[in-house]
Structure 1
């Protein structure tokens, strides 16, 4: 079955999350599922504070502690990926059924751009062959000035 919509994706991640919670003996609270739904309804990267404000604006009553704890559970079952883009604030993104990609971070404004380059996959395959290992995933981040800030300094 191919996932065609956000609704199909949410149903799949909801099921995986439920299985994870049950296997670990954790409670299946409405707040945890609301957080999961909010994350999978939004595109791009987010930090805890942004997610907290978005949920508050949507009239959800969730504490920051619940957000942090739920994010940890989602990281544990690979439904969310954590990035540390050189600042003190961790960024997260949904990770279920999302294509491997890499990042460019603007050092002027912190904006994160995503990109895919097949040559990086070739390098990964080369590393696997060279070392006799199997790479599960990778994380590659470039830092510099985006087009806007590059032009400003020219």
Structure 2
């Protein structure tokens, strides 16, 4: 990310804060900078711990509240991938439309983009006489790679469990 791009992101936040009558704080800008230095989908707790590792003193409440604020001003996108997975966040400024695949074994989130989905979106908009602004598509899958580096522990089959107990 270029310094000019971050200046635009910061200006977007400044405009939002002024409109809402909220203070410009060092913590909010530090959290924003940390988010835009990342390339992943992250949980609030991961963000909090990353800030702590960098010796930036910020409370969990400040992280959560700032994330809500950044979602509200369209600088961050909040995702709820399934029932058992915590909310995940990703930066939103100048991001292209994309979709997600979530591994049900390790909860790793991968992005993909297929132009055919945009054609479907356009067709559905025409069919339903609607102006579709964006879409959200998430696939949930188990990794088929035998040596998936992201899988914490491969689930045992019932026959493997029975052999161990005998």
TM-score w.r.t. the length of structure 2 is: 0.85
Q: State the partner residue of 2:15.
A: 19
Does the Cα contact within 8 Å between 2:100 and 2:137 map onto a contact in 1? Answer: yes
Q: State the partner residue of 2:158.
A: none
Q: Which runs of 5+ in 1 are unaligned?
A: none
Q: CA deviation at 1:94?
A: 0.2
Which aligned runs of 4 or more in structure 1 are off by greater than 6 angstroms? 150-153
**2:115 is the counterpart of 1:118:** yes
Does the Cα contact within 8 Å between 2:44 and 2:63 map onto a contact in 1? Answer: yes
Q: State the partner residue of 1:107.
A: 104
Distance 1:150 1:143 in 2: 19
Does the Cα contact within 8 Å between 1:21 and 1:28 map onto a contact in 2? Answer: yes
Range 62-71 or range 5-14, more displaced: 5-14
Q: State the partner residue of 1:135.
A: 132
Tell me the C-alpha RMSD between the 2 structures: 1.7
Give 1:60's match in structure 2, choosing from 56, 61, 64: 56
Instruction: Call closer, same or farther: CA 1:150–1:122 in 2, change over 3 Å.
Output: farther
Distance 2:112 2:131 in 1: 23
Q: State the partner residue of 1:146.
A: 143
Does the residue aligned with 1:93 lie in a helix, a strand or coil?
strand
Q: Which of the pair has more CA radius of gyration?
A: 2
Number of residue pairs matched by the alignment: 149
Matching of residues 6-45 of structure 1 within 5 Å: 6-45=2-41
Distance 2:117 2:147 in 1: 24
TM-score w.r.t. the length of structure 1 is: 0.91
Q: CA deviation at 1:88?
A: 3.9
Q: Which runs of 5+ in 2 are unaligned?
A: 149-153, 156-166
